[in-house]
Every structure is written in structure tokens, then in C-alpha cells.
Structure 1
Amino acid sequence: MHPVDVAPPVAPGLLARAIGACQSLRGHRLPWLALAFGAGVGIYFALPVEPSDTVAIIMGLVAACLLFTAFLWRGGLGLIPLLLACAVLGVLIAQARTQLVAGPVLGYRYYGAVEGRIILIDRSASGATRLTLDRVRLDRMAPSATPRRVRISLQDDTGVTPQPGLRVMTTGHLLAPSGPTEPGGFDFQRHAWFLQLGGVGYTQVPLLLAQPSKGGASLVVARIRAAVGDGFRARMPGQAGQVAAAITTGDRAGLSDAVTADLRASNLAHLLAISGLHMGLLVGFVFWAVRGGLALIPSIALRHPTRAWAAAAALPFALAYLFLSGGSVATQRAFVMAAVMLGAILLGRRALSIRSVAIAAILVLIWRPESLTGPGFQMSFAATGALVLAFGAFARSDRPDWMRGWRGAVISLLLSSVVAGLATGPFAALHFNRIGQYGVLANMLAVPMMGLAVMPLLFIGLILWPIGLEMVPLRVAGWGIEWILFVADRVAALPGAIGAMSAPDWTVLPILGIGYGLLGAGRGRVSRGGGVAALILAAALWLQSPRPDVLISDDARLIGIMSGDGRWLNRESGAGFVAASWLENDGDIADQIAAASRARPDLRARGIILYHARGKRDIPEAVAACAARPGWLILPETVETIPPGCDLLEPERLRKTGAIALFQGNDGLVEVRTARTLQGDRPWSTDTR
């Protein structure tokens, strides 16, 4: 027996149109499946509570039924249950990933011996060396309660020189990863959960060697990376060598603060982050070099699939770059995308197509579903999808002769800069609250140099390195890097180079993602029109998103009150990370000292009355004032007697709620939002301190 088409009882005209719409997507279903799968992953992370095992089993059965229904309706409406099944599978895979990485998290402040193996070395925001350790041992703590990994910043660099693979020990302060600095803000607890970080902290004691390294493949790769980075610095003096080390090995420790600030202000900081751009430039160079070389041999070019051979040759170089760069999550994602593109060429398919982008997105989300919530995934696929659509339309048009050859290559790079910049701009503004006003100009001047000279010449220099002929290509690559730094410096110095954007309501990001997804997956006017409508809605919600009138940190130490001149802060120092986060989310370029020097706003006209005691000595006065006129009573510790009508906020309560935001509504009522409410009851949302 053969399966027959079964359709639900729908009006004949509507059914015919629905079937026609589904059939019109034959050969173009993968983008829709990727969109549905991503929506399922997003739904999982937006859930207020973690699904139970029973619910997971039920969802698995539902997915199986939907897949069976899709098989029965495969000649008609089968796409609809297939999309629903992909969404359910997205939820299930995200939940499975959450359980797979689960590990102990510190439940209290720890001070004592810390021992572990170094698996990652990077820099904190303050520039301190930061180590990620696994195989951790903490004093007086059972192995079952010890975090799998901890991250510790070194305040004293006089100890042993850190190297990946070394087992080291020190005495340090550790605590659980902190929650969002404000309701709806960046969730570091969730980020740390998927990194398997159960504790973060610092040490002021020199690092000691606990056990000599036993070697291993990871240590060999780490030593190769270190040797390459040191070699670039020795052969390319100044910041050019530091940039070369950063874009090849991922080591940005030697970059000066001035260079980093210029690159950020000019919207060129992405040139330092090893991602799809660098992987694409390397793979593209190897592919075209191999294919061009084979084209010079007619006996091979006319008889053999040189395109597939070039793709096969480029894949090992992509893998080598993955290891050389340190294998960060962004680089791994870039490698998956490159591998999919090269695989499509090997199979005789188009490399740059929305289908390839969709396959890469599905693979990345199956492997690391949590990446959906990060700016790296969003910006990478927004840029790649936009480039595919733009160049697809460009390829279908008739191009004049002056757009071919080397001039066409330069124009293509310039077009890539503009398209990618426009596509990633909203996500960059949403996550980082900063906009390089002249970013398009800077990218048009710098990215072609990176693609045509810097990356190819650094690669050639690495190949010629063993035979001592690397100096010429590295010297020229250094000139290219100096040009990029010159552009960054000049653009950053322009008036109004940095623009600030306030953080939108949390609903804006999913709507923005849906809009991009519909534009990428859609083929007709309806779907793409829906994408445009979603983008317009996201922009409208962004513009209307209010910032909290009052923000209270999760330890009651920092208070921020919004005024006409910006947010006033009650402290000039201390809680610097929280203060900087609040000001950035406000779209305020002032620092903490400037914000604290502002006049304190009077909230009584807005119906909000605050009494804050900075220390124990101030508690009686604050309590007495609240007794005379009830309001919000913010204290550094719990008191036995609370005046009637006063709403107490003290550390014990804030441990459960996280940071608090107060909004004064048009009706005069005060809306209270807590970080824990928006986080939900999830595995990673533990007490914030």
C-alpha cells in the first residue's frame, strides 16, 4: 500500500491555496525548517519554567506524530506539520543541551585554595590575565559539589607563567556567576551555565605550579599558537604584529587600549574577532588560488572537476585555522559555515545559497543551541544571509564590463562591507548600545585591505615561514594592517563618531529575528512583506521602550535614578561593572563619576519615594524617615521592625529577586520588575550572590 494524501477538513478554496503555497516551496523548504527550528530554540530560552521530564516525553511524542503526519501529507500540506515538528525538536534539543552541560554551581562565597588545569587564557575587561580552569579542586569541598570549571583573574603576575595544560594552584575568592544587572539585561548566569562555569573570582596571590604538564595534543596546539603569535610580534614590530597575532591565533593581550578603542569607535572591532569574515577570506583565498593554479594546466582544467578539487583543498586549511585560532565558539561556528559551503561545492551544488546558510544554522543550533541568544550567531547569520541575497540578485543581473575582473572584485568587497554593515547594525546596537556613526565608511576603506592583502599575505607568510622566506609577505601585510589602524584612528577622531542607543524591551530581539528570518526564507511578497512588517514593528517598539525610573542592584549597594540629564548614581566608585552596564543600556556615554555628580532627581512627583541607607549607621535615620512617610526602604542588612507601609529591600530579599527596576506608569501606579521574574525558574537562575 502507498500512503495517500490526507488533509484536514478545510474549505476547498482555502485548502487549494494552502496546498499551492506549500508546493510552491518545493526545493526551498530548508530555510523555513531552519527558521522553525530556531524559533523552537528561542521558545525554550523564553520559557518561564524548565520543562519537566514528563513534558519532554510528551513533546517527543508530539514531534513524532507531527513527522508522521508530514509524511502522510507530503504531497499537500505536509510542510505545516513538518515546521511544527522542527519547532518542537528545537525545544527538545535545547533542553537536552542544558542537561548535558549541567554541573555544580557555588552556593556561597568561597575563599581558599584553588587548584586546576588551565584550559583557556584571556583578558578581563580591566586588562587582567584571566584563567579558565577545569579538573578543579577546592578545599573542604566534595568532588560532587565542586564546579567543573572556574574562571579566576590574576591580580599578581609574578608567579608561574600560565600556559594551557599546566595544573596550577593559588588562593582566591570565588562566588557564583552573577545574575543580570537589571531586569531583562544580559544573563551572565545563563552564559556561564553553558560554559560550565560554576564559579568566578580573582586572586591576589602569585600562581604556583601544582603539577608539571603531561603533554597532550591540546598542549602541543597551544605551544604552536604561542610560537606563531610571538613570531608575528618579532617580525612585525609595533601594533601591526599584535593585530597579526590577534587575527591568526586569537591572542589580543598585546593590543593597546587606544587601538582597541579606535577599532570599536570606527566599527572595525569585528576585524579582531576571528569569525566568519576571517574564515571566509582564508577559505576563499585557498579555493581561488588552487582553482586558478589548476586552470593554468589545460590537461587538468578540461578533464577534471577542478572546482571540487579546490574545495577539497580548502577544507583542511579551514580546519587548521580552527585549531590555530584557539577554537573559540565563534570560530567553530565559522568553520561549520565554511564546511557546509565547501561541502555544497563537492556535491555539485551552489556554495553561496540560502539553503547552505540554513544547513549551517541548523547544524550550529543542534550542536550549540544556546548560541542563538548571543550576538555572534545573530550577526554572523544576518551578515551571511544578507550577502547571499544581495550577491544572488547581483549575479542574476547583467553586469557591465567595468564591473568584471579586478575592478569587480574590489566593488564586491565594498558592496560586502555595506551590506554586512547594514545587516548587522541593528543587532550590534541592541547588544552593545553603541553605533559607529561612520562604520560603513571605515569598513569600505579597511575591509578590502583585509581581504585583498592582509589575510592572504599572512597566510603566505605562514607557508614560507619554515624555509625563511616569510619576511616580504609579512612586511607587506604589516603595511596593510597599519592602513587599517590609520583608518580606525582617523574615523574615530571624527566628530560624533560614536552614537549611543538605549536598550529596548526584551520583546524587540525575537521580533527582529523573525523579521530577518522571513526576509531570508521568504520567496513571495507575503512572506517578505511579513518580514518587513516585523522589522518595522521591532523599530517602533524599540523607540517606545521606556528605561526604568529607578534601578536597584542585587546587593542594594547601587541605586540609579533617571532624570532629564541622564541617570544619577548614588556612588562614584564601587559596583563599577553594574554602573557601566546601566549607563550603556540607557544610551548614556557618561562614566560613573560623571553620573554620580549629577543632581539627585526628586521622585516624589512621580509617586516613588526612596530611603536608602548606605551603611549601618544610616539605618535608623532611613527607617524613621520611612515611618513618617512610607516608601521603598533600601537597607544593607535586615532589620527586625519595619514601619507600616514601607516596602523593604535588603540583601536577603534581593538574593531571591535579583536586580529591581521601578517604572512610574501613566496612571500613577508604580510597576515593579525583577531580574528573577524575567529569568524564570531555570537551572541557571540561582541566587545572584
Structure 2
Amino acid sequence: MFRDRFLARIEALLEAERGQLPLWFVACFGAGIAGWFWVGGERGWIGLIAFAMSLVAGGAALGQGLRSSRALVAGGLALAAGCALIWWRSEHVAAPRLARPVIVEFAGAIERVEHLAAKGDLRLALSVIDDDTLPPRVRVSVKADDNADVLLPGASVWMRARLQPPPPMALPGGHDFARDAWFREIGGVGRALGAVEVMRPGKGGGLDRLRDRLGSHIRTVLPGSTGGIATALATGDQAGVRDEDAEAMRRSGLTHLLSVSGLHIAAVVAAAMLLSLRLLALSERLALRLNLVLISAGMGALAGVAYTLLTGMQVPTVRSCIAALLVLAGIALGREAISLRLVAVGALVVLLFRPEAIAGASFQLSFAAVTAIIVVHGFAPVRNFLARREEPVPFRMGRSLAGLLITGLAVEIALMPFALYHFHRSGLYGVAANLIAIPLTTFVIMPLEAAALLLDVVGLGAPVWTATGWAIDLLLALARRVSSADGAVTMLPTMSRAAFAAMVAGALWIALWTRRWRWWGLAPLAAGAALAASAPVPDLLVTGDGRHMALLAPDGRPLLLRAKAGDFMRNVLAEASAFDGDPGALEEQALARCSREACLADIERSGKAWRILAIRQPDRIEWTRLTAACADADVVIAERRLPRGCTPRWLKLDRPALERVGGVSVYLGEIPRIETVAGRLGQLPWGTSGALVTPRRNP
């Protein structure tokens, strides 16, 4: 029978790939977590779990003893478990949130202090003391003044502050700050007004205090962005890097160097192993009686764990530390430990404790990079080409350089979909830049910085700090040079989740199988890439508060309603418009007529004329004038509530509408449509609630 032949064929394939099936268990577990974020509602979550259990039932129905049956049961259970875990986690961390901005005086206990050196601020995570009108936990920024030395974890403080709800996703497809705050149980964010009174001093010790003191020391001997980058390498704190230098690192594809991950953990572990092995080998008695490799591996493991704790246990660091420990265990047991199973174990550990990490760029980028490296080096042609052999030194060096190039190219290709999905941009010259930057960071900057910190104990670190500064300046010069080159960055508007999911699924299919059927993954990968590349650029962008609007000019440049918008908002609107540059001012364009009260712009899209009316001031406008202007416009935008008599021909986005749906992207093509933050988030607990804005049928 056909069914029997088909099952026999599947059994043969799974038997040949039996070593890869545990990897798919972890992939299904992650898919269950990711699916929870995607479907975004209780009915969808129940439906996803029901679908997973139907896979379990189908696998059980195939009969016992079949590998396909066990695979379906395990995959279905993993999918259901992933969805159930993140659902439970979201309910477990649920905390009250502010409904509106408030100015309050309150007492709080400092839980964590972050130094934002580039802005001259301290960011305090506070648990509110004896005030039921506020959320239990808030985050407040204060000026890093003379109180910085006493604002320590454990201190009790009294302050007056302006607090507001955690900021939502500004535009559809942007970064979701409200999601981050939800899983950190933060119910309000804001800034202190005036001085902060310390009622009880905080603790002087602890890893947080050590991290802060180390960062302050580094920034003292290396001021500016040089010290900020040195601090990031030592403690993982990137707050001291100036915005323009952080942007240069992003555009040049070098920003991964600032996030403590596999490169940094590997350098620390390797240095600890090498140093301990060399020192122990100086003793003939120890060398003859003890397994020095095993002892040095233990020293490397201790160094890796200590560095992970020091840098705050971020997702890439924890993943890299777990991987390093497994590699060291493999060395101790005399086995090869660098494999996709290592990556899968690291991912599973992270997801079990922090399942929400899967939605973040950090988790996705770090695991994608490591997986790409392992997969590429697992291909027989690449493995054979890079294998060690007896050959002259120039050929050996050339082969090593080619290996770096192949690895860098594979990583850049693997990371491009994630960078475009999260940041709307991807560097094109990252491979060449990393060929210089990675060896410079690994073999020059980090050893020099470690030596300088050790020599500071005896007061002899100054010359080494100078050399460290020169090396970091060279890294910054490289980043600036590459980032300013023509065509250094490719931009993409908001990518649909379907396109992103198709590319990830196709890439996983290629990475996790080893037989020829792995190349079936090229189909969804290509389909997702084509769908992402064809994504239209929105013609109109409106933030959820209605204050900021960007209208796309004919040359693709976003034109801002408020030209004096801050750098953050300018970057958000430019990225959502797939524009690599500084936005323009709407009031300076011939297509617009602006007054102090409003801007009126006339544009043409797909052969149809559109009139956009944007109210710029919160004050009331004379009713007759306003309603006449609304009736003459196709789209009306305002940060205030507009009267019911304001009825544009197609779409009205005033304060009540935007409070329901959040930020909006408007597409004025042949079939006009809108996308909203509320539509993207669905019924996720931190999302915008309420009905979607419904445009009039006949624009």
C-alpha cells in the first residue's frame, strides 16, 4: 500500500537522521514560545496547544516502535510545552502598570543601578515602599551628580519624579519596550525631578557594585567612547558608548563586539587555560603527577563563569558560557564537544529560565551566528579545505585567512534576515570589517585591557592603558570608515512576520538535517526573502501619541511634522521608512502648507491625489474652520481629541483612536490599507487594547 511505502520511506530517512532529532525537539520547544508571541491571544494560544496535542495524538496513532511516531509525539509535546511555559511566565510576572503619566513623591528601595555614562545619567530600578497608588516596581533616571556614590543597590531613597506607563511599540514592527518592561515587572518609567534624598545607604559590595566600580575606573583612565567601549568589553555595559559611535559600529557590522558573547567568553576561557597550563607546567612534579589539561580546563571554566556573572548574565553571555562549559567538559572527557547539540543545550537552558528571550534580537542573533559557523564548518568541502596539513607558512596563513572570510561571510548572510527584521537595516561590508576587527579585539584589545587592569593593582597600568586606547581608537576608526562608505547599509521597511518565519524555518531545515533533503529548506527561505524584499514602504507614519508624523517624499525621504523631534524618534521614523539618512522637515517642502496650527500636504500615490491634514498644536481651533478643513482632507491626524464633526473622507487618527490602536503605518497604494501596533500585538497582555481603527470604505 502507498501508506505503508510512504511510512517506510519516512522511517528510513529518520533512521538516517536519528542523531539530529533531539535538535528538532529544542526547535519545536522554541517554536511553541515564538508561536505564543505571534498568535497573540488566548484563543490563539489554546488553538496552538490543541494543534500540538493533535500531533501527539497523530503520532500515537501511528503505532509504537516507529521513529516517526516518537518524533511526532516528542515534537508535539515540545510545541505545547513551549507555548504553555511562556503563557505561564507572562502571567507569573504580571504586575500593575500606570494608566497615565503622573508626578509623584515616593520612597523606593534601589534594586539595580545602571550607569548611562554617555548621557550623564543613572538608571535606577526601584521597588516602591508603602505606596499602593504606584506599581510595585518602577525605573527612574537621575542625573549622575554627587549622589552617584551613595545611590547603591539596597539604598532607600525619597524622590519626586514624573512617571509614565512603559513606552509601547512606537510603530508597527518597531522595538517593543513595553514587552521588555512587562517581563521585568516594571510598571512605570520616568525621570527624577530635583535632588534624590538618600534615607538609608546601600550596600557597598556585590557584583553590581564591583561592575560599577570597574566601569568607573576604566572610564576614568580612558575617557569618551574609547572608555565606553573598554567598559563594554570588560563588564558588558554599553551605556558609555556615544550614540554616533554606536551607530558606526552598527552600520559597519561590528556592534556584536560590544555585546559580551561567544568571542569574549572564548578569549577569557582560552587565556585562563593557557596561562594556568603554562604556569603549572613550570613544576616538573605537577606535570608528571597531574593531568594539567584537566586542571587548566577547570580554571578556564571558573574564569568563564566569573566573567559571565561580572557582565550581568545577559542572554548571549549565558549561552556562550554554557557552550564553553560543554566544550571544556568535552576536552576533559576526550570528546569533541563543538556541535549543534551544544548550541541546542544552551538554547534550551536559556529558554527554560527566560522563555521571553526568544523574541529579542540578542537571543536570535547570537544563536544564529553560532549555528551558521558550526553548519558551514560541517560541510565536507569546507572542512576538507580548512583541515590542517603540511604546507609552507604562507599557504597556511592564506588558508586561515580564507577560513575567516568564509566564516564571516556565512555569519553575515545568516544574520541579515534578523538584522533587517529587528533594525530595518543590515551592513554590507561587515565581512571585510570583521576580518580586521575580530583579531584586533581578541588578540590585541582584550589582552591589553586585562593586562592594564592587573597592573593597576601595583600602579603600573598607565602605559598599557595608553596602548589599549590606541587599539580601541583604531577599531573606532575602522567602524567609522566602513560605516561612511557608499552603500555600506541596505535598508528594508517593516518585514512581515510571515516572511521572517519562512526564512527562519527554511534556515533551520537546512541547518538541522544532514542529508540531501535539507535543501528543501531553500524553498521557504527563498519565498520568505522574496516576500521581505517586496515589502512596501509606508507612505505615512504616525506614532501612538499623535505627536510625530512622517510623510514619505517622492524621493523616499521621510518628512517630519515636527522637525525638532529628538534623535531617537528621528531614527525610528527613518528606519521604518527604509531611509538611510536624516529625515527632512515637512514645512520646508513645496508639497505642504504649514502654519503654527497645522500642516496640509497634497501627495499623489498610484494615480490618486491624497490630502493629509496634521494638527500641530494642542489648543482648540475654531470649530467651523476645523470641520471644513477635515471635510476637505482624506486623512486627519492630531495628538488631541477632535470633535465629532471632524469627518475626513477616509481616515481620522486623533487621540482616542491612537490610544486604542497605537502607532500606525498607512499605505496609500492602489488598495489603501493601514497597519497598527494593536493589530501586530493582538491581545498580548502588554499590548494596546481596543478596537482597530476602521477607515471609510471609499477613500
Q: Do both share a fold (TM > 0.5)?
A: yes
Residues 552 and 454 of structure 1: CA distance in aligned 2, closer, same or farther (over 3 Å): closer
Structure 2: 5+ residue runs without aligned partners?
593-600, 691-699
Residue 207 of structure 1 aligns with which residue? Answer: 196
**Counterpart residue number, 2:598:** none
Q: TM-score, normalised by structure 2?
A: 0.85
Partner of 1:502, secondary structure, is coil
Q: 1:156 to 1:283 in 2, by over 3 A?
A: closer
Alignment-derived partner of residue 545 in structure 1:
535
Letter in 2 for 1:221: L
1 CA distance for matches of 2:444 and 2:646?
Answer: 69
Report the CA distance between 1:111 and its aligned residue.
Answer: 0.9
CA drift of 1:14 comes to 0.3
Classify the secondary structure of the residue corresponding to 1:682: coil
Match of 1:314 in 2: 300
Higher alpha-carbon deviation: 227-236 or 42-51 = 227-236
CA distance in 2, matches of 1:296, 1:406: 31
C-alpha distance in structure 2 between counterparts of 1:309 and 1:406, whole Å: 31
Q: Distance in 2 between matches of 1:237 and 1:665?
A: 51
Aligned-pair CA distance for 1:447: 0.9
Q: Which deviates more, 447-456 or 157-166?
A: 157-166
Q: Which residue of structure 2 lines up, in the alignment, with residue 168 of structure 1?
A: 157
Aligned-residue offset at 1:553? 2.3
Q: Which residue of 2 aligns with 1:664?
A: 668
Aligned-partner SS, 2:532? helix
Give how far 1:229 is off.
2.8
Which amino acid in structure 1 is aligned with residue 637 of structure 2? Answer: I
**TM-superposed deviation, 1:443:** 1.3
Which deviations, in whole Å up to 9, do the C-alpha atoms of 1:13-62 show, x marking residues without a partner? 10100111111122222222222122111111101313599889978977
Which residue of structure 2 lines up, in the alignment, with residue 4 of structure 1? Answer: none
- The answer to whether structure 1 residue 453 and structure 2 residue 444 are counterparts is yes
Deviation at 1:431, TM superposition (A): 2.0
Secondary structure (helix, strand or coil) at the match of 1:602 reads strand
Q: Does 1:531 align with 2:521?
A: yes
- Larger displacement relative to structure 2 (30-39 or 632-641): 632-641
Alignment of 1:124-203 (within 5 A): 127-137=119-129, 141-142=131-132, 146-154=134-142, 157=145, 160-161=148-149, 162-203=151-192
| Cα RMSD for the two superposed structures | 3.6
Residue in 1 aligned with 2:34?
42
Q: Deviations over 1:106-147 (max 9, x none)?
A: 112111114323334446798252413231248xx51xx632
Q: Give the deviation of 1:231 after TM superposition.
A: 3.7
Superposition pairs for residues 8-23 of structure 1, below 5 Å? 11-23=3-15
After superposition, what is the alpha-carbon deviation per residue over 1:657-678, rounded to whole angstroms, capped at 9, x for unaligned? 1122322343xx4223221122
Query: Aligned-pair distance for 1:248?
Result: 0.3
Partner of 1:554: 544
**Could you tell me how far apart the structure 2 residues matched to 1:391 and 1:504 are?**
30
TM-superposed deviation, 1:541: 0.9
Structure 2 letter corresponding to 1:436: G
Greater Cα shift, 493-502 or 419-428: 493-502
Matches within 5 A, 1:285-434: 285-291=271-277, 306-393=292-379, 394-397=382-385, 398-400=387-389, 401-402=391-392, 416-434=407-425
1:290 CA drift (Å): 4.2
Of structures 1 and 2, the one with the larger relative CO (CA 8 A, separation 6+) is: 1
Cα distance in 1, alignment partners of residues 442 and 516 from structure 2: 35
Letter in 1 for 2:72: I
2:37–2:684 contact (8 Å) kept in structure 1: no
With over 3 angstroms needed to count, the CA separation of the structure-2 counterparts of 1:311 and 1:288, relative to structure 1, is: same
Q: How is 1:26-37 mapped onto 2 (pairs within 5 angstroms)?
A: 26-37=18-29
Deviation digits for residues 253-303 of structure 1 (CA, Å, limit 9, x no counterpart): 544455434433432222222222211221233234445666788887788
Deviations 1:149-206 (A, max 9, x none): 3222336846554434333332111111232222233222222211222112223312
Give yes or no for contact 2:174–2:422 (8 Å, CA) kept in 1. no
**Secondary structure in 2 aligned to 1:448?**
helix
How far apart are the structure 2 equivalents of 1:21 and 1:385?
A: 23
Relative to 1, partners in 2 of residues 1:148 and 1:501: Cα closer, same or farther, differing over 3 Å? same
1:639 matched to which residue of 2? 643
Could you tell which deviates more after superposition, 248-257 or 405-414?
A: 405-414
What pairs with 1:211-222 in structure 2 (closer than 5 Å)? 211-214=200-203, 219-222=205-208
The alignment partner of 1:27 has SS state of helix
Cα deviation code 1:591-613 (max 9, x no counterpart): 34546534345246536444333
Matches within 5 A, 1:274-285: 274-285=260-271
Query: Residues of 2 paired with 1:379 and 1:553: CA distance?
Result: 27
Q: TM-score, normalised by structure 1?
A: 0.86
- CA distance in structure 2 between the partners assigned to 1:461 and 1:416 by the alignment: 31
Question: Offset of 1:425 from its aligned partner?
Answer: 3.1
How many percent of aligned residue pairs carry the same amino acid? 28
**Counterpart-to-counterpart distance in 2, 1:531 and 1:236:** 48
Give the match for residue 572 of structure 1: 563
CA contact (8 A) 1:39 1:90 kept: yes
1:573 and 1:592 in contact (8 A); partners too: no
Please say if residues 49 and 80 of structure 2, whose CA atoms lie closer than 8 Å, have aligned partners that are also in contact: no
Alpha-carbon distance in 1 for matches of 2:64, 2:570: 57
Matched position secondary structure for 2:161: strand
Deviations 1:303-326 (A, max 9, x none): 865554333221111111122223
d(CA) in 2 for partners of 1:205, 1:79: 61
Matched to 2:527, the amino acid is L
Give the 3 Å change call, closer, same or farther, for CA 257–58 of structure 1 in structure 2. closer
Deviation of the 1:333 alpha carbon: 3.5
Tell me the residue number matched to 1:680. Answer: 682
- Counterpart of 2:553 (choices 552, 555, 563) is 563
**Residues 1:347 and 1:463: Cα distance change in structure 2 (over 3 Å):** farther
State the Cα deviation string for residues 499-554 of structure 1 (Å, max 9, x = none).
43333223222222212212221212222x13322322222111110122222222
Which 10-residue stretch deviates more, 318-327 or 486-495?
Answer: 486-495
Cα offset, 1:381, TM superposition = 0.9
Matching residue's letter, 1:684:
W
Mapped pair 1:587 → 2:578: yes
Question: Match of 2:86, SS?
Answer: helix
Amino acid of the structure 2 residue aligned with 1:311: A
Q: Identify the residue that residue 269 of structure 1 maps to in structure 2.
A: 255
Q: Name the structure 2 match of 1:602.
A: 602
Larger displacement relative to structure 2 (103-112 or 393-402)? 393-402
SS of 2:426's equivalent in the other structure is strand
One-letter identity of the residue aligned with 1:653: A
Mark the CA change 1:255 to 1:177 in structure 2 (over 3 Å): closer, same or farther: closer
* 1:639 CA displacement: 1.8
1:24 matches 2:24 = no
Instruction: Give the superposition deviation at 1:412.
Output: 5.2
Distance (whole Å) between structure 2 residues aligned to residue 274 and residue 513 of structure 1: 24
Partner Cα distance (1:51, 1:214) in 2: 47
* 8 Å Cα contact 1:170/1:203 also seen in 2: yes
Structure 1, unaligned runs of 5 or more: 1-8
2:654 to 650, 656, 662: 650
Tell me which amino acid in the other structure corresponds to 1:367.
F
Instruction: Tell whether the 8 Å contact from 1:121 to 1:129 is kept in structure 2 after alignment.
Output: no
Letter in 2 for 1:680: G
> Is the CA contact (8 Å cut-off) linking 1:60 and 1:92 kept in structure 2?
no
- Among 590, 602, 614, the residue aligned to 2:616: 614
